[in-house]
A = this chain, B = another copy of it.
Amino acid sequence: MCGIVGMIGNSPVNQDIYDALLLLQHRGQDSTGMATAEASGHLHLFRARGQVREVVRTRDMRALPGAVGLGHVRYATRGAASSEEEQQPFYVNSPYGITLVHNGNLTNTRELTDELRNRDRRHVNSSSDTELLLNVLASELQDTTGPTDLTTDGIFNAVAATHRRIDGAYAVVAIIAHHGLLAFRDPFGIRPLVLGRRRPTPQQLEEHPDAHDEWVVASESLVLENGNYELVREVAPGEAVFITADGKLYSRQCAEHPVLEPCSFEYVYLARPDSVMNGISVYDSRLRMGARLARTIAEHMPVEDVDVVMPIPDSARPAAMEVARVLDIEYREGFFKNRYVGRTFIMPGQAVRKKSVRQKLNAMSTEFSGKHVLLVDDSIVRGTTSSQIIEMARAAGARKVTFASAAPPIRYPHVYGINIPTESELIAAGRTIPEICELLGADHLIYQEVEDLEAAILDGQTDQKLDGLDLSCFTGEYVTGTVTQEYLDWVAEAQES
């Protein structure tokens, strides 16, 4: 889970990159990275642990001059959080000087590590797949361009070769020093990347007659909206876009058989509701998830016994509102969410305390007392939070607790860049719904059907048609077709050690 952005402007972009990262912060809070390039080719990098507004100081911003830039927010997978060497952006100086950020996850890292070391003689100094990706791209750029200067064709050939060598999900933004900004997306379009443009105003042209179009690529469309960029389109699956420092855009389809099968989890949980992704409004798709979930609920239990529908804040709100509307049950918010809770200090000599959900959520007994409450969450992963919430609802006086998930049971690992734990930790892996219901301590448990989730998302298609969705964590079918059980076992083992 990461957010990325790249920009080419008429003036320094550091402030715009900063603002964009604030808007993408929900995609990762563990580290912040930025890079800018000056017209002289000089690159400037910034990397730090923590959220944007906590770690970026004025002097850091001053050290990021240049009208070409990129940024990254990162959600660290376990264990890796502490290492500075895993932080993006990564940089190689040969060839050309390239700095790169990446959202996604590669699934053939073992092969790439071997190739890079033994064939390409490139040193990879971290366990980050992003460093591998950058070096594959660099290696292909080196091979395809040779002693003549870099051409746009050369760049696109290198991206094509990179597509052939790497497996997995990836949306990428890179700066090639002296040349421009490169962005591309995996041939399945698993992770999002959207393209925007800001034309110079007549007033700007009067002051700077050579002002050119300004461009942005970003994980989510709200970055465009907030910066007053017009939405040009999504970067297509497999496509590469290259923008020169003077604002000229080139693009080419670099994959052989591109299809658009984006990750369904963006709609379920990750993306901000005010984003439009692959032409589909995230907010509207969540409303439709609620509507379909309502029907499933009605099929499985006597809804007339339910007194009130409540969301688990914040992401389940749209679905819960729609559940309430369709079932014609009152909608209330009975849980208050504390925004300020963070890590808890454990002082030497004091007992370790169980970090409870209660620090983050509090139940208003007025809303629960004597009622049958229907709680709606976006999804259920480990189940530990859900069971504590159910317990809180009962403690607050609920007569009965029904729990509904806007996503189907999560039974398989997610290998495309969403931080979902290994199979052994998933409450739904290898269990029936009644078994899960009992474990959670709910009176009823209703899950969205896989077909309904699919339809809830795809029903929002506009002129842009999707070829499908990645629903792998619900179905075990991985769109890239290269994920084996042996790989999943290796990942599980690596994460547990």
Contact = CB atoms under 8 A, between A and B. Distances in A.
Of listed A94, A97, A135, residue having the most chain B CB within 10 A? A94
B123 A97 contact: yes
Contact of A344 (B18, B119, B281): B18
A371 to B, nearest CB: 14
A366 B287 CA distance: 10
A359 B287 contact: no
Interface in A17-35: 18-19, 22-23, 25-26, 29
Interface string A253-296: 00000000000000000001110000001011001000000000
Contact of A94 (B22, B122, B343, B349): B122
Interface in A127-145: 135, 138-139, 142, 145
A56 interface: yes
A459 to B, nearest CB: 13
B22 A338 contact: yes
- Integer count of this chain's copies in the complex: 4
A62 B330 CA distance: 49
Contacts of A341: 22, 53
Interface residues of A, number: 86
Counting from the closest, the 9 A-B pairs by CB-CB distance are A97-B123, A53-B342, A25-B340, A95-B121, A274-B362, A93-B123, A283-B364, A94-B94, A94-B122
11 contacts: A15-B346, A15-B350, A23-B359, A41-B123, A94-B121, A94-B122, A96-B122, A97-B122, A125-B177, A274-B362, A317-B333
Interface of A: 11-12, 14-15, 18-19, 22-23, 25-26, 29, 41-43, 51-54, 56, 58, 61-62, 92-98, 117-125, 135, 138-139, 142, 145, 147, 149-150, 177-178, 222, 225-226, 272-274, 281, 283-284, 287, 317-318, 321, 325, 330-333, 336, 338-350, 358-359, 362-364, 366
